[in-house]
Amino acid sequence: MKNMKKALCLLLCLIAALSCFALAAAAEDEPAACEHEYKVTTVAPTCAEQGYQLHVCSKCGDYFKDNYTNPLGHIYGEWTNVRTATCTVEGLQERECVRCHGKETRTISVIPHVDEDENGKCDVCGAKVEVKKIFSPFEWLKSFIQFLREWFNSIFA
Distance CA 91, CA 86 (A): 7
User: Cβ 30 to Zn ion, closest distance in Å?
Assistant: 14
Question: Smallest distance, Å, CB 111 to Zn ion?
Answer: 8
Alpha-carbon torsion (141, 144, 149, 152), positive or negative: negative
Taking CB under 5 A as the criterion, which residues in 11-70 touch Zn ion? 34, 36, 47, 57, 59-60, 62
Q: How far is the CB of 91 from Zn ion (least distance, A)?
A: 14
Where does residue 81 fall: left (phi above 0), alpha (psi -120 to 50 degrees), or beta otherwise?
Answer: beta
Verify binding: residue 115, Zn ion, rule CB under 5 A.
Answer: no
Select the residue interacting with Zn ion from 97, 108, 111, 121 (CB under 5 A): 97
- Binding status of residue 89 toward Zn ion by CB under 5 A: no
Residue 102 binds Zn ion (CB under 5 A): yes
Q: Which of 42, 44, 40, 69 is nearest to 56 (CA)?
A: 40
Using rule CB under 5 A, residue 122 touches Zn ion: yes
Q: DSSP labels for 93-136?
A: EEEEBTTT--EEEEEEPPPPP--TT-SSB-TTT--B----PPP-
Q: Which of 10, 14, 15, 125 binds Zn ion (CB under 5 A)?
A: 125
Are the CB atoms for 101 and 90 separated by under 8 Å? no
Contact footprint for Zn ion (CB under 5 A): 34, 36, 47, 57, 59-60, 62, 74, 87, 97, 99-100, 102, 113, 122, 124-125, 127
